[in-house]
Structure 1
Amino acid sequence: MSKFHSTALIFLLFFSFHANSQKKVLSAKSTTENITIDGKINEEVWATESVATDFIMFEPDNGRPISSKKKTEIKVLYDNNAIYIAALLYDDEPDKIKKEITNRDVFGVSDNFSVSINGFNDGQQDFRFFVSSAGVQMDCLAIEDNEDFTWDAIWDSKATITDFGWVVEMKIPYAALRFSNAQKQTWGLNFMREIKRYNQKYTWNRVDTKIGAVIPQAGILEGIENIKTPTRLFFIPYTSTYYQQNDLGSDKTLKAGLDIKYGINDSFTLDAILVPDFGQTKFDNAILNLEPFEQKLDENRPFFTEGTDLFNKGGLFYSRRIGGAPSTEPTIDANEEIITYPSTVNLLNAVKISGRTEKGLGIGLLNAVTKKTYATIRDNDTNETRKEVIEPLTNYNVLVLDQRFNQNSSVSFINTNTTRNGGFRDANVSAALFDLKTKPNTYNLYGDFKYSSINTIEDYDGFKTELNFAKTSGKYRYALSGKYISKNYDINDLGIIFYTNYNSIAANGSYRILNPTNKFNTFKVYQELSLETQNTTGKTQEAYSITQIKSTTLKNNYFELFLRINPFNRYDFYEPREVGRYVYIPKSVLGYVAFVSDQNKPFTYELETSITKFDENQRATYLLNGGVKYRFNDKLSIGHGIQYTRKASDRGWVDQNNTGIIFAERNREIVQNDLTGKYAINNKMTLNLTARYYWSYSENHGFLTLQDNGYLVQNNTYSLNKNRNFNSWNFDLSYSWWFAPGSEISILYRNYALESTRNVQKELSTNFKNVFDSNLTNIFSISLRYFIDYNVVKNKF
């Protein structure tokens, strides 16, 4: 390459970075005046000359300046306790401002304003605070491509509609943020305004969508100096009472406990729960699971969802392991039976410490202890009972070290450890991760190496490694990846993994428009090719081509087309439920179409359908999902969704005996109905309804025996009834009142039932009746949580 071309290339790369790194700067003004958060902005101290204005559209038409009719002006103050934000959001049609009242962290059909704060200005994590035009708060921890709205901070805000638009006033205590102890603070800062009726978002510092990273494109907040932050110590005592009744009787329960949050310094926080109570968390969606793997459940317990971004790095932490199902089953004799086997293990306490140093080192420590748990076994000859430990006292630990650098890159070390008391199984998993990006955020190299070690009767270990390279900017983007997972790689004591013992390669490419056209607001085409090979046999485990098109029209309707082709026969190494065995899966094609109507309208609907056709006689899967929602006004809405799946001539494992592994050829149907409703009395008080009815059956019409080569042959001798008919019902009606910051009264009425039988009943109405005729459990509970700030109590005394 000539000297001229080398110089030109260096200049081009530098200019690309330099041009995209121009940052606006806002100066915060110190105040000793008491600021009342009333949405009026009438204190004299707000008369500061430092104003954030000249917003630029983020989407859909990236780069367009905001209209003068939608002028936006932001000011920032600070004292030793908090920062204060005043936002004047002009709108020439204030009567058309969308302002649906929702639950906290639910955006709904409302205009909203947000501030994103990065206390270390490292371009990697934002603390984001939103206020809707109805006064509802939303907040999240954000890393690139992920916003965690399970995180809830304690802060104050007020929104008011005016004759010129609307106004937001916010007070964000330092306790809700993380930053260094430097005398002069320099924070990453951006503001965003969404005008919902146009589905337009504007930011203060321009975010260029050609660049594949949003957080590094923030502006700068300066001026915060010499702050003396108060002690960050908070107590959240709770008390709850439960009344439960079913066919077996009734009981009453009274619980009390305490959550503690302590700021070790401005960067690190300790969270602890003593005597936890998760009785009002969302119910799990029980299903008829005929797969060779457990059902993966969502985490709904606040302690394990709030501020866990560090602990989720590397995908080694599945928090439902803590307090989940026991890890062993008791050994019984032929004359014995198990009469009680707890489905979950009680959590005794949990503690987590997390934060980040001034030099960008993130540290996370999590520890949880669960209770020794017994099963009860009865001797049917003597009628005597005995207890056997199915889960000993168990200690769970997670350690994360995450070093950030260059505003967009990081290297990480993660270790998870499960230690069970006595001679039970122990486990240890360690991982090293790297995520490297070029300064202009145009290319990304990332990967990992993970190692697991299991101590049981027979010790074993395994590893997993992966390498990925991607172009992450511009209209055209692509990625290449390779992965290897050894046979004995096992993270299931504190993580979750289903497939191991394979290697894979994959490539994908995409094209997207960066600004609207005369037909689309957004449009993206995605193509992926992937091949997975089982390590031991060299057989194909998975091979596919994916084509996907996603688009949003100018009328804000969403379309999606998806085509997946499996052009080769492949083999399933898990469905036979025996190590070393596998079953043949024929070639297949899946086609999928989805449509979602404009969500701003009072009546909205969505529809999706797919067909999977296998290269095997009559074998196919059909899916049809639909949903409607009607918003009567800004307070009341109701929605209904239905999901229907039919699997014709499906094939799956049902048994194993002395003749071999038995499969069934079967028809399956799944029907799920979901009903949701919301009535918002105001932005602090809501009534919510959630109901779910699920029915599924599996009806066998022939049996087959698995051959050593993976193929199935007819079995005319097996005759056991392996049909399944499964019903599940859940109903929650709740009232919630956030009567003070961080303090809530909640009242919940819940009923639920499960019914499972070998007798298939194909009438939906009969199934619905049967589930209510089963052992329906009713629960009524009241819970009170009260937030206590140590500084407020200290000042009073």
Structure 2
Amino acid sequence: MKLTFLLLLAAFIGTNAVALPFQKLKNDTISAPFNKDFVYHVKKMHAEITIDGQIDEPDWLAAEKADNFYKVLPVDTGFATQPSEILITYDDKALYMAQIFYDTIPGKRVMESYRRDFSFGNNDNLLVFFDTFLDQTNGFSFGVSASGAKWDGTMSDGSAVNLDWDCKWESKTKHYDDRWVTEMRIPFKSIRYPSGSRKWYTNFSRLDLKANEKSSWAPVPRQFPTASLAYTGVMNFEEPLPKSKMMFSLIPYVFGGYSNDFEHGTGNVWKKDFGFDAKVGFSSSMNLDLTYNPDFAQVEVDQQVTNIDRFELFFPEKRQFFLENSDLFSGFGDNNINPFFSRRIGLDAPVLAGARLSGKVGNNWRVGFMNMATKETNDFLARNFTVASIQKKVFARSNFGFILVNKEYIDQPSDTTMYNRVAGFDYNLASKDNIWNGKFFYHQSFQPGNPDKQFAQGFGLTYNTKNLQLEIMQRSVGENYRAEAGYVPRTGYNYISPEVTYLFVPNKKVVSHGIVVDFRYYFDPDFHKIDHENNISYQFEFQNRSSLVFGYQDHFVELQQDFDPTHKSESFLPAGSKYNFGGAFINYTSTRKTLFNWNAEIAKGTFYTGNIQYITGELGYRYQPYVNLSVNFNYTDMKLGQPFEHTKMWLVGPKMDVTFTDKLFWTTFVQYNEQIDNMNINMRLQWRYAPVSDFFVVYTDNYLPGSWNSRNRALVLKLTYWLN
């Protein structure tokens, strides 16, 4: 505890030492976006605006209109079928936005639910993207669906939006026969921007499912998302924005619960405790997050999958503390060589406390620092995790960065030295028009008693136009590379993967179609081939946004370790054995504008020593906007021959998501998984009784199929309140 306190204090002092005078942007170092001629002038307010969904105040009548939205999908030529208008104004405390989306096509507007951070493709919606630091890489996104559900997230990597970030803002949506209208008020203290700003980069995006169109104010090529910050327009404020002040938010929480692990005979265990999160905004661009005794029981449960792979599966981080500016910590390497993966923290021991500093220093520098401590358990010593990173923008939209990750055991025996460290360098390439993207990285691990070959290196380059996409990926990972706080499912290999996609865009009932050829080759350190996966497929995208893909996969594997493809047998395939197998597949995704929607993939072919066939997908039906019913499913049938038994495995996950209002939600998720002989029930009630303040009730039960005896059971109550 003493160590953690000192680390938090050091982080606090270090943050105060940041050279805040360098926060002011210098215009001569800012590169203009591709759509620099799309300019919106924001006038300052002269009276009050009531957020009621009625656009009738004088400041709205005087505001400039952003209209004439350009089509992005199904094709990026011409204007959208149905008109759209955006109005913006501001005062000394907040930004105000009004949206008017005209809609005269017969039929109900598509609105899935009232749930915050709605699914983009399942709702008519407005999304807004703000690049407040003019770097065309990072920013903030806000939006509303036709039901009035909110969307907010942080942006990184030029277009990625992380929706697990929430802030305080308000909106109101109203429906009329020929249009739907929203007013929004976003406090300046909820987002970060340079002191004295008079310019942001921005774009506005509309998804109109009834018209089968996606459109934007500043035009975006169809191969890119409308969130692409390379294609924003410019928003000029009439007067400089208010100078940011030091902000402080405290989020205390109390929680209590009951649990019983029947398998291990623990009996009834009752728990009550408290903790807090805190946010300290030292400037409009630098933020310190603190946490003590966090509890993550309210985090959504992972969707299970049937595992027939040889390597560890990846499940995304969902805990909010780790998510703001998360690319500064988790954006190094690539999907299969990541030196820091925050889910390693708290995976096998409770988190005691932590601090996270992140933000910008000056025009072109970003910094990140995280320090987390976990408690000692019967199985593990207390551990400390430290991550430090720095990133420098170069050229129009590229950057390079350095990262240092340290995992160290606390109060370890005097005759041992236990730690794991990784240092790395990454260069990320992004051209001004986003057509060229790439990455190069080199990482080195350090661990006592571990010999050489502790390196990981990778390179990638992508060329992306409307018709043609070319990609080349390369990796080399040393046999002794260890990133214990990261995600590295395999080591000791060299990898090369070229991919070619060519699309025809006729813009008829079939909007686009084309071929994809993908080769993936793995070699051992001596460049002897140990794996390949070659894929060829043909894809169709239809006017109603449904899609069809079919193709063939060819595999070769020389096992480096014993392997059981079923993950439930006592038999295995021996290391050193070689296999050639492959099969055909077909995948279909239906339109999302109908109340019933579905997707499915069917595959059949050879698999190691035998045959495999499977069907996987999801069925969904909505009673909009209150109830969403869905079932994800997977049926796998493997006949591997002796000594393996004929294996059939079902995974079925029915889910009911009820949004009574925009403040009261109830989710029930049941997952029956034959591969691990378990049925899990997870029920979660969330009441947002005040802005970003919640009361949660979470119930979890695991059963043993067959006898239906309970394996373990838990009930948790948690209350949070945001003070600022």
Give the 5 Å matches for 1:81-120.
81-93=93-105, 96-107=108-119, 109-120=122-133
Shift of residue 65, structure 1, vs aligned partner: 0.8
Aligned with residue 179 of structure 2, among 152, 161, 165: 165
- Which amino acid letter does the alignment assign opposite residue 304 of structure 1? F
TM-score of the aligned structures, taking structure 2 as reference length:
0.86
Matched, 1:517 2:507: yes
Equivalent position of 1:468 in the other structure:
460
Q: 1:293 to 1:475 in 2, by over 3 A?
A: closer
Aligned with residue 147 of structure 1, among 146, 150, 161: 161
CA distance in 1 between counterparts of 2:256 and 2:249 reads 23
Matched, 1:318 2:341: yes
Matched, 1:425 2:415: no
Q: 1:586 to 1:740 in 2, by over 3 A?
A: same
Give the 5 Å matches for 1:40-439.
40-67=54-81, 70-93=82-105, 96-107=108-119, 109-142=122-155, 143-144=157-158, 146-181=160-195, 183-209=196-222, 214-223=228-237, 224-245=239-260, 247=262, 248=265, 249-284=267-302, 293-294=311-312, 296-314=314-332, 315-324=338-347, 344-374=348-378, 390-421=379-410, 422=412, 423-439=416-432
Equivalent position of 1:9 in the other structure:
none
CA distance in 2 between counterparts of 1:743 and 1:750 reads 23
Deviations 1:520-555 (A, max 9, x none): 23434211223221114x431112321133322223
CA distance in 1 between counterparts of 2:497 and 2:308 reads 29
Matched, 1:749 2:680: no
Q: 1:211 to 1:239 in 2, by over 3 A?
A: closer
Shift of residue 215, structure 1, vs aligned partner: 1.4
Q: 1:295 to 1:97 in 2, by over 3 A?
A: closer
**1:171 aligns to what SS in structure 2?**
strand
Give the 5 Å matches for 1:550-699.
550-566=539-555, 570-575=557-562, 582-614=575-607, 616=609, 619-649=610-640, 665-696=644-675
Whether the 8 Å CA contact 1:292–1:575 is kept in 2: the answer is: no
Whether the 8 Å CA contact 1:609–1:623 is kept in 2: the answer is: yes
CA distance in 2 between counterparts of 1:18 and 1:785 reads 42
**2:182 aligns to what SS in structure 1?**
strand
CA distance in 2 between counterparts of 1:32 and 1:592 reads 61
Q: 1:236 to 1:392 in 2, by over 3 A?
A: same
CA distance in 1 between counterparts of 2:719 and 2:51 reads 26
Equivalent position of 2:523 in the other structure:
533
- Which amino acid letter does the alignment assign opposite residue 122 of structure 1? D
CA distance in 1 between counterparts of 2:423 and 2:583 reads 37
**2:651 aligns to what SS in structure 1?**
strand
**2:343 aligns to what SS in structure 1?**
helix
Deviations 1:255-302 (A, max 9, x none): 211110111111011111111112233345678978765554443322
Equivalent position of 1:705 in the other structure:
none
- Which amino acid letter does the alignment assign opposite residue 339 of structure 2? L
Shift of residue 169, structure 1, vs aligned partner: 0.9
TM-score of the aligned structures, taking structure 1 as reference length:
0.79
Equivalent position of 1:733 in the other structure:
683
Aligned residues: CA RMSD: 2.7
Shift of residue 690, structure 1, vs aligned partner: 0.6
- Which amino acid letter does the alignment assign opposite residue 257 of structure 1? G
Which blocks of at least 5 consecutive residues in structure 2 are unaligned? 1-30, 333-337, 565-573
Shift of residue 512, structure 1, vs aligned partner: 2.2
CA distance in 2 between counterparts of 1:25 and 1:518 reads 33
Whether the 8 Å CA contact 1:23–1:205 is kept in 2: the answer is: no
Q: 1:574 to 1:50 in 2, by over 3 A?
A: same
Aligned with residue 780 of structure 1, among 715, 719, 722: 715
- Which amino acid letter does the alignment assign opposite residue 650 of structure 2? V
CA distance in 1 between counterparts of 2:647 and 2:313 reads 18
- Give the fraction of aligned pairs with identical amino acids, expressed as a percent: 22
CA distance in 2 between counterparts of 1:97 and 1:289 reads 39
**2:327 aligns to what SS in structure 1?**
coil
Whether the 8 Å CA contact 2:230–2:432 is kept in 1: the answer is: no
- Which amino acid letter does the alignment assign opposite residue 592 of structure 2? Q
Which blocks of at least 5 consecutive residues in structure 1 are unaligned? 1-16, 325-343, 375-389, 652-663, 697-725, 756-767, 790-797
Between stretches 96-105 and 208-217, larger displacement belongs to: 208-217
Equivalent position of 1:655 in the other structure:
none
Shift of residue 190, structure 1, vs aligned partner: 0.5
Aligned with residue 481 of structure 1, among 462, 473, 484: 473
Shift of residue 154, structure 1, vs aligned partner: 2.2
Shift of residue 58, structure 1, vs aligned partner: 1.4
Deviations 1:302-340 (A, max 9, x none): 22344412211112211121122xxxxxxxxxxxxxxxx
Equivalent position of 1:769 in the other structure:
706
CA distance in 1 between counterparts of 2:489 and 2:71 reads 43
CA distance in 1 between counterparts of 2:349 and 2:219 reads 50
CA distance in 2 between counterparts of 1:26 and 1:692 reads 49
Q: 1:57 to 1:190 in 2, by over 3 A?
A: same
Shift of residue 688, structure 1, vs aligned partner: 1.4
Shift of residue 209, structure 1, vs aligned partner: 2.9
Shift of residue 85, structure 1, vs aligned partner: 0.7
Deviations 1:46-100 (A, max 9, x none): 2324221111111112122124xx3222121222322111112222348632233
**2:230 aligns to what SS in structure 1?**
helix
Whether the 8 Å CA contact 2:201–2:233 is kept in 1: the answer is: yes
Deviations 1:658-710 (A, max 9, x none): xxxxxx544433211101112221122122111111112xxxxxxxxxxxxxx
Q: Which has the larger radius of gyration?
A: 1
Q: 1:685 to 1:516 in 2, by over 3 A?
A: farther
- Which amino acid letter does the alignment assign opposite residue 687 of structure 2? W
Aligned residues: 669
Whether the 8 Å CA contact 1:366–1:397 is kept in 2: the answer is: yes
Equivalent position of 1:708 in the other structure:
none
Q: 1:290 to 1:76 in 2, by over 3 A?
A: closer
Q: 1:598 to 1:446 in 2, by over 3 A?
A: same
Equivalent position of 2:486 in the other structure:
495
Shift of residue 368, structure 1, vs aligned partner: 0.3
Shift of residue 734, structure 1, vs aligned partner: 2.2
Shift of residue 348, structure 1, vs aligned partner: 0.3
Deviations 1:92-123 (A, max 9, x none): 34863223324211237431112100001221
Whether the 8 Å CA contact 1:210–1:473 is kept in 2: the answer is: yes
**2:37 aligns to what SS in structure 1?**
coil
Aligned with residue 453 of structure 1, among 440, 446, 456: 446
CA distance in 1 between counterparts of 2:393 and 2:605 reads 44
Whether the 8 Å CA contact 1:371–1:394 is kept in 2: the answer is: yes
- Which amino acid letter does the alignment assign opposite residue 48 of structure 1? A
Whether the 8 Å CA contact 1:563–1:590 is kept in 2: the answer is: yes
**2:391 aligns to what SS in structure 1?**
strand
